[in-house]
Amino acid sequence: MHPILKLLVQRIALGLLLLFAVSAVIFLGVEALPGDTAQAILGQSATPQALENLRNQMGLDQPALTRYFNWLGGVLTGDLGKALTNGVDIAQAIGQRLGNTLFLAGCAALISVPLALILGAVAARYAGRWPDKLISGVTLTTISLPEFVAAYFVIFLLTIVIPVFQPVAMVFPGMSFWAKLQAVALPVIVLVLVVLAHMMRMTRAAILNVMQSAYIETAELKGLSPMTIIWKHAFPNAVAPIISVVAINLAYLVVGVVVVEVVFSYNALGQYLVDHVTKRDLPVVQAVGLIFAAVYIGLNIIADVTAIIANPRLRHPK
């Protein structure tokens, strides 16, 4: 078997194992909360008899291990259970919101990743000179702002000072793709500002690190232009650390953007999760937690494998 294929299988197997472990941790975490779902539904004033009846009915009197495997079995067959608060099928409710989350994250990623790479390369090219300082200064400022401040600033600037966008990002099924794009423009801008700096700094640092190598001197002595040297000779050898930071930021775009969703009233997973945490709707919390974990693990596996494939020693063994 080709070593890369072997590696791929290995990593995916490890990822699944990790996901399994995470599912156990999530279940345990929810289990450790005081009270249980029956208590949550019936409230503090419920009679012990009513509680017991409901527990019987929901299978909550079963041992924890049995309930865990029941839940896990459901997850594997696509049945995430029903939300307690409104009885809606969780899988269905999540499906649409997950689409919205991925749409927003995808748009932000498509802009921020290439932009971060270009800005990082430019900053490395002019390391220590004004373009570097300008890029670093601006991106560090935007990352230092709390997201809601950045969000309100962008709203103020682009809906009031220069009124080109609407301040809320409402999307609904049946909207045209173009209309959707317009709707998410503002949150995308905010997210780009938030994730840009981290990826840009890593690109800059990784390229500068490689620029110390003897083969960069060779390229200089070949009379290549500085930008050609960075793209053709430095960048291919600097991708591994950049990829892992990109993966972390992409994961953040999926799982960490609830503040931005709330500010723009964007109906996606983050809001859904927070809503149901406040309502103590534990099945929903479990399901969303598991999806977020899967996104994190999946992106990190992809990052790992890409970084390894980028190494010619592994791609082309002796």
Partner 1 sequence: MADNLLLDIRGLVIEATSYPPGEPPKDVTLVHGVDVQLEKGKVLGLIGESGAGKSTIGLSAMSYGRGGVRLTGGEILLNGRDIRPAAAWQLRRLRGREVTYVSQSAAASFNPSKRLMEQVIETCLSHGVMTRPEAESRAVGLFRKLGLPNPETFGNRYPHQVSGGQLQRAMTAMALCPKPDLVIFDEPTTALDVTTQIDVLAAIKEAIRDTGVAALYITHDLAVVAQVADEIMVLRHGRKVEHGTTDQIINHPREDYTKALVSVRSLEHAEKPEAAPILRIENVTARYRGTTFDVLKNISLGLPPGQTLAVVGESGSGKSTLARAITGLLPPTKGRISFDGRPLSAAFRGRTRQDLREIQMIYQMADTAMNPRQTVRTMIGRPLEFYFGMKGRERDLRVQELLDQIEMGKGFADRYPAELSGGQKQRVCIARALAAQPKLIICDEVTSALDPLVADGILKLLLNLQAETQMAYLFITHDLATVRAIADKIAVMYKGEVVRYGQKSDVLAPPFDDYTDLLLSSVPEMQLGWLENVLEHRRMASAGN
Binding site for partner 1 (CB under 8 A): 213-215, 217-225, 228, 232-233, 236-237, 310-313, 316, 318
The residue among 220 and 275 lying less far from partner 1, judged by its C-beta, is 220
Q: What φ, ψ does residue 88 adopt, rounded to 5°?
A: -75, 145
Closer by beta carbon to partner 1, 2 or else 313 = 313
Tell me, rounded to whole angstroms, the distance of Cα 185 from its chain centroid.
18
Which residue's CB is nearer to partner 1, number 122 or number 273?
122
Nearest approach, Cβ of residue 201 and partner 1 (Å): 23
In the complex, minimum distance from the CB of residue 215 to partner 1, in angstroms, rounded to a whole number: 4
- Single-letter amino acid, residue 258: V
Identify the CA nearest to 202 among candidates 242, 165, 175: 242
Shorter beta-carbon distance to partner 1: residue 95 or 236: 236
Contacts of 146 (CB under 8 A, 6+ apart): 259
> Contact, 30 vs 282, CB < 8 A?
yes
CB of 157 to partner 1, least distance (A): 39
- Buried b / exposed e across 113-127, counting CB within 10 Å, b at 16+? bebbbebbbbbbbee
47: its two tokens: 């009679």
Nearer to partner 1, 65 or 214 (CB): 214
**Two tokens, residue 253:** 């775009």
The minimum distance between CB 250 and partner 1, in angstroms, equals: 24
For the bound state, the minimum distance from the C-beta of residue 308 to partner 1, rounded and expressed in Å, comes to 13
Which CB, 129 or 222, lies closer to partner 1?
A: 222
The region, left, alpha or beta by phi > 0 then psi within -120 to 50, assigned to residue 117 is alpha
- Residue with Cβ nearer partner 1 (198 or 233): 233
Nearer of residues 32 and 214 to partner 1, judged by Cβ: 214
